[in-house]
Protein backbone atom coordinates (compact mmCIF):
# COMPACT_ATOMS: atom_id res chain seq x y z
CA UNK A 1 0.00 0.00 0.00
CA UNK A 2 2.83 2.38 0.95
CA UNK A 3 4.59 1.55 -2.27
CA UNK A 4 1.39 2.41 -4.19
CA UNK A 5 1.20 5.88 -2.59
CA UNK A 6 4.91 6.38 -3.27
CA UNK A 7 4.35 5.55 -6.96
CA UNK A 8 1.45 8.05 -7.15
CA UNK A 9 3.67 10.73 -5.59
CA UNK A 10 6.27 10.20 -8.32
CA UNK A 11 3.60 10.53 -11.04
CA UNK A 12 2.21 13.74 -9.49
CA UNK A 13 5.70 15.27 -9.19
CA UNK A 14 6.46 14.39 -12.84
CA UNK A 15 3.15 15.93 -13.96
CA UNK A 16 3.84 19.15 -12.03
CA UNK A 17 7.39 19.32 -13.43
CA UNK A 18 6.10 18.80 -16.98
CA UNK A 19 3.49 21.53 -16.53
CA UNK A 20 6.13 23.99 -15.29
CA UNK A 21 8.41 23.22 -18.25
CA UNK A 22 5.57 23.78 -20.74
CA UNK A 23 4.69 27.12 -19.12
CA UNK A 24 8.29 28.29 -19.28
CA UNK A 25 8.51 27.37 -22.95
CA UNK A 26 5.30 29.25 -23.74
CA UNK A 27 6.59 32.39 -22.03
CA UNK A 28 10.31 32.35 -22.94
CA UNK A 29 10.31 30.32 -26.13
CA UNK A 30 12.82 27.67 -27.04
CA UNK A 31 16.07 28.62 -28.80
CA UNK A 32 18.16 26.14 -30.75
CA UNK A 33 20.92 28.49 -31.94
CA UNK A 34 19.65 28.38 -35.56
CA UNK A 35 16.83 30.93 -35.38
CA UNK A 36 16.45 33.46 -38.21
CA UNK A 37 17.17 37.07 -37.25
CA UNK A 38 14.11 39.08 -36.19
CA UNK A 39 12.35 40.77 -39.10
CA UNK A 40 11.93 44.54 -38.96
CA UNK A 41 8.43 45.91 -38.75
CA UNK A 42 6.82 46.34 -42.16
CA UNK A 43 6.75 49.95 -43.36
CA UNK A 44 3.41 51.70 -43.53
CA UNK A 45 1.95 51.83 -47.04
CA UNK A 46 2.14 55.16 -48.81
CA UNK A 47 -1.05 57.18 -48.49
CA UNK A 48 -2.75 57.78 -51.82
CA UNK A 49 -5.84 59.82 -52.57
CA UNK A 50 -6.46 58.37 -56.02
CA UNK A 51 -5.60 54.93 -57.36
CA UNK A 52 -4.99 56.48 -60.80
CA UNK A 53 -2.13 58.64 -59.61
CA UNK A 54 1.17 57.66 -61.17
CA UNK A 55 3.62 57.11 -58.34
CA UNK A 56 6.83 59.04 -58.73
CA UNK A 57 10.09 58.11 -57.14
CA UNK A 58 11.63 60.16 -54.31
CA UNK A 59 15.33 60.96 -54.20
CA UNK A 60 16.91 59.74 -50.96
CA UNK A 61 20.01 61.91 -50.88
CA UNK A 62 18.87 65.13 -49.23
CA UNK A 63 21.63 67.24 -50.76
CA UNK A 64 20.03 66.72 -54.16
CA UNK A 65 16.79 68.44 -53.19
CA UNK A 66 16.58 71.97 -54.61
CA UNK A 67 13.76 74.20 -53.43
CA UNK A 68 11.77 76.07 -56.06
CA UNK A 69 12.67 79.75 -55.99
CA UNK A 70 9.67 82.02 -55.39
CA UNK A 71 8.55 84.07 -58.38
CA UNK A 72 9.24 87.79 -58.09
CA UNK A 73 6.11 89.79 -57.34
CA UNK A 74 4.68 91.42 -60.46
CA UNK A 75 6.72 89.24 -62.83
CA UNK A 76 5.12 87.36 -65.76
CA UNK A 77 5.94 84.12 -63.92
CA UNK A 78 4.10 85.24 -60.78
CA UNK A 79 1.14 86.33 -62.88
CA UNK A 80 1.01 82.97 -64.65
CA UNK A 81 1.21 81.07 -61.36
CA UNK A 82 -1.63 83.24 -60.06
CA UNK A 83 -3.82 82.36 -63.04
CA UNK A 84 -3.23 78.65 -62.44
CA UNK A 85 -3.98 78.96 -58.72
CA UNK A 86 -7.20 80.80 -59.53
CA UNK A 87 -8.62 77.64 -61.09
CA UNK A 88 -6.59 75.08 -59.09
CA UNK A 89 -6.13 76.06 -55.46
CA UNK A 90 -4.07 72.92 -54.80
CA UNK A 91 -1.29 74.09 -57.14
CA UNK A 92 1.94 74.74 -55.28
CA UNK A 93 5.25 75.55 -56.97
CA UNK A 94 7.38 73.68 -54.42
CA UNK A 95 5.23 70.55 -54.70
CA UNK A 96 5.26 70.85 -58.48
CA UNK A 97 9.07 71.14 -58.60
CA UNK A 98 9.44 68.08 -56.34
CA UNK A 99 7.06 66.05 -58.50
CA UNK A 100 8.73 67.25 -61.69
CA UNK A 101 12.11 66.06 -60.42
CA UNK A 102 10.62 62.65 -59.75
CA UNK A 103 9.12 62.61 -63.24
CA UNK A 104 12.46 63.65 -64.75
CA UNK A 105 14.21 60.73 -63.06
CA UNK A 106 11.53 58.26 -64.09
CA UNK A 107 11.40 59.43 -67.71
CA UNK A 108 15.18 59.56 -68.17
CA UNK A 109 15.59 56.09 -66.66
CA UNK A 110 12.68 54.55 -68.59
CA UNK A 111 13.90 56.04 -71.88
CA UNK A 112 17.39 54.62 -71.35
CA UNK A 113 16.02 51.15 -70.60
CA UNK A 114 13.48 51.32 -73.43
CA UNK A 115 10.52 50.91 -71.08
CA UNK A 116 7.68 52.28 -73.23
CA UNK A 117 4.84 51.22 -70.85
CA UNK A 118 6.32 53.41 -68.10
CA UNK A 119 6.79 56.35 -70.47
CA UNK A 120 3.34 56.32 -72.06
CA UNK A 121 1.27 57.79 -69.15
CA UNK A 122 3.93 60.42 -68.41
CA UNK A 123 4.18 61.84 -71.94
CA UNK A 124 1.81 63.58 -74.33
CA UNK A 125 1.04 61.38 -77.38
CA UNK A 126 3.34 63.26 -79.78
CA UNK A 127 6.21 63.31 -77.27
CA UNK A 128 5.74 59.61 -76.57
CA UNK A 129 5.82 58.89 -80.31
CA UNK A 130 9.15 60.71 -80.59
CA UNK A 131 10.65 58.93 -77.59
CA UNK A 132 9.37 55.55 -78.73
CA UNK A 133 10.80 56.06 -82.23
CA UNK A 134 14.23 56.73 -80.72
CA UNK A 135 13.91 53.58 -78.59
CA UNK A 136 12.98 51.49 -81.64
CA UNK A 137 15.83 52.97 -83.70
CA UNK A 138 18.25 52.03 -80.94
CA UNK A 139 16.89 48.48 -80.81
CA UNK A 140 17.12 48.10 -84.59
CA UNK A 141 20.85 48.84 -84.35
CA UNK A 142 21.29 46.31 -81.56
CA UNK A 143 22.32 49.06 -79.18
CA UNK A 144 21.31 49.68 -75.60
CA UNK A 145 21.71 52.75 -73.45
CA UNK A 146 22.82 52.96 -69.84
CA UNK A 147 21.97 56.14 -67.95
CA UNK A 148 22.80 56.84 -64.32
CA UNK A 149 21.24 59.90 -62.74
CA UNK A 150 23.84 61.05 -60.24
CA UNK A 151 21.96 64.11 -58.99
CA UNK A 152 19.51 66.82 -59.90
CA UNK A 153 21.32 70.01 -58.99
CA UNK A 154 18.60 72.43 -60.03
CA UNK A 155 14.90 72.43 -60.88
CA UNK A 156 13.86 76.00 -61.66
CA UNK A 157 10.41 77.02 -62.88
CA UNK A 158 10.89 79.37 -65.84
CA UNK A 159 7.34 79.90 -67.07
CA UNK A 160 3.80 79.15 -65.97
CA UNK A 161 0.47 80.04 -67.51
CA UNK A 162 -3.11 78.99 -68.06
CA UNK A 163 -4.10 78.36 -71.67
CA UNK A 164 -7.82 77.83 -71.71
CA UNK A 165 -8.33 74.99 -69.27
CA UNK A 166 -4.76 73.71 -69.61
CA UNK A 167 -2.12 74.67 -67.04
CA UNK A 168 1.39 74.70 -68.49
CA UNK A 169 4.62 74.95 -66.51
CA UNK A 170 8.12 75.04 -67.98
CA UNK A 171 10.98 73.96 -65.75
CA UNK A 172 14.75 73.89 -66.22
CA UNK A 173 16.64 70.87 -64.93
CA UNK A 174 20.37 70.84 -64.36
CA UNK A 175 21.44 67.26 -63.71
CA UNK A 176 24.56 65.16 -63.43
CA UNK A 177 24.31 62.10 -65.67
CA UNK A 178 26.47 59.21 -66.81
CA UNK A 179 25.38 58.21 -70.32
CA UNK A 180 26.74 55.21 -72.19
CA UNK A 181 25.56 53.52 -75.37
CA UNK A 182 26.80 50.01 -76.12
CA UNK A 183 26.48 47.77 -79.15
CA UNK A 184 25.22 44.19 -79.10
CA UNK A 185 28.68 42.98 -78.04
CA UNK A 186 28.78 45.37 -75.11
CA UNK A 187 31.34 47.69 -76.69
CA UNK A 188 30.94 51.39 -75.88
CA UNK A 189 29.93 53.29 -79.03
CA UNK A 190 29.02 56.59 -77.34
CA UNK A 191 29.56 58.17 -73.95
CA UNK A 192 31.93 57.29 -71.15
CA UNK A 193 31.01 55.00 -68.23
CA UNK A 194 33.48 56.87 -66.02
CA UNK A 195 32.49 60.44 -66.90
CA UNK A 196 29.81 62.48 -65.15
CA UNK A 197 28.42 65.19 -67.39
CA UNK A 198 26.27 68.21 -66.60
CA UNK A 199 23.09 68.18 -68.65
CA UNK A 200 20.57 71.01 -68.89
CA UNK A 201 17.05 70.21 -70.10
CA UNK A 202 14.03 72.47 -70.41
CA UNK A 203 10.77 70.56 -70.12
CA UNK A 204 7.17 71.75 -70.26
CA UNK A 205 4.44 69.92 -68.36
CA UNK A 206 0.69 70.33 -68.81
CA UNK A 207 -2.48 69.37 -66.94
CA UNK A 208 -6.18 69.78 -67.62
CA UNK A 209 -7.40 71.83 -64.62
CA UNK A 210 -10.97 70.62 -65.10
CA UNK A 211 -10.00 66.98 -65.03
CA UNK A 212 -10.12 64.81 -61.92
CA UNK A 213 -6.77 63.35 -62.99
CA UNK A 214 -4.07 65.14 -60.93
CA UNK A 215 -1.21 63.97 -63.17
CA UNK A 216 0.89 66.28 -65.29
CA UNK A 217 2.24 65.08 -68.64
CA UNK A 218 5.36 66.15 -70.50
CA UNK A 219 4.35 68.06 -73.64
CA UNK A 220 7.68 69.45 -74.81
CA UNK A 221 11.44 69.21 -74.39
CA UNK A 222 14.21 71.54 -75.51
CA UNK A 223 17.79 72.52 -74.80
CA UNK A 224 18.82 75.98 -73.59
CA UNK A 225 19.75 78.49 -76.29
User: Ranked by mean pLDDT, which of 49-58, 60-69, 119-128 comes out on top?
Assistant: 119-128
Domain 73-222 belongs to what topology?
Nuclear Transport Factor 2; Chain: A, (3.10.450)
CA dist., res. 57 & res. 150, Å (int): 14
CA dist., res. 118 & res. 80, Å (int): 30
Q: Does the reported pTM lie above 0.85?
A: no
* pLDDT higher than 80, residue 79: yes
For position 69, what pLDDT does the model report? Answer: 58
CA dist., res. 39 & res. 80, Å (int): 51
- H helix or E strand, kind and range, residue 179: strand 166-182
Mean pLDDT to the nearest integer, 176-202: 94
Amino acid sequence: MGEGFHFLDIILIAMVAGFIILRLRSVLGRRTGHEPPPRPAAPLPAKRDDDNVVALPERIRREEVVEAAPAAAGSPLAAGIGRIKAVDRSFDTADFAAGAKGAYEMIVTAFASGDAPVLRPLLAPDVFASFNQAINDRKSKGEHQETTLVSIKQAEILEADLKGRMAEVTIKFVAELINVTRDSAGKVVAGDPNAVEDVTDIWTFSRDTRSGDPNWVLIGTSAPN
